[in-house]
Amino acid sequence: MHEQVKDYYGKTLQSSDDLQSNACCTDTNMPAHLKAILAKIHPQVSSRYYGCGLIAPEALEGMHILDLGSGSGRDCYVLSALVGPKGSVTGVDMTPEQLSVAREYIDYHRQQFGFDQSNVAFFEGYIEKLDALPLGENQFDIIISNCVINLSPDKEAVLKQAHRLLKSGGEMYFSDVYSDRRVPTHLTNDAQLHGECLSGALYWNDFINLAKGCGFADPRLVEDRPLTIDNPEIESKLQGIRFFSATYRLFKINDLEPACEDYGQSVIYNGGLPYSKDAFLLDKHHIIKTGEVFPVCGNTYRMLSETRFKPFFQFNGNTVEHYGLFEGCGSALPFDTGRTGAETSTNSCC
Ligand X SMILES: C[S@@+](CC[C@H](N)C(=O)[O-])C[C@H]1O[C@@H](n2cnc3c(N)ncnc32)[C@H](O)[C@@H]1O
Residues at the interface with ligand X (CB under 6 A)? 2, 5-6, 9, 24, 49-51, 69-71, 74-75, 93-95, 98, 126-128, 146-148, 151-152, 197
CB of 101 to ligand X, least distance (A): 10
> Cβ closer to ligand X: 147 or 256?
147
Q: How far is CA 220 from the centre of its chain?
A: 10
Interatomic CA distance for residues 153 and 95, integer angstroms:
15
> Cβ closer to ligand X: 146 or 179?
146
Consecutive H or E run containing 107: helix 106-113
Region class of 175: left (phi > 0), else alpha (psi between -120 and 50), else beta: beta
CB of 176 to ligand X, least distance (A): 10
CB of 151 to ligand X, least distance (A): 4
Cβ distance 242 to 217 under 8 Å?
Answer: no
Cα angle 288, 292, 296; round to 5: 55
> Cβ closer to ligand X: 5 or 217?
5
> Cβ closer to ligand X: 71 or 298?
71
Interatomic CA distance for residues 63 and 308, integer angstroms:
9
Cβ distance 102 to 70 under 8 Å?
Answer: yes
Residue type, 319: T
CB of 212 to ligand X, least distance (A): 22
> Cβ closer to ligand X: 70 or 348?
70
CB of 39 to ligand X, least distance (A): 17
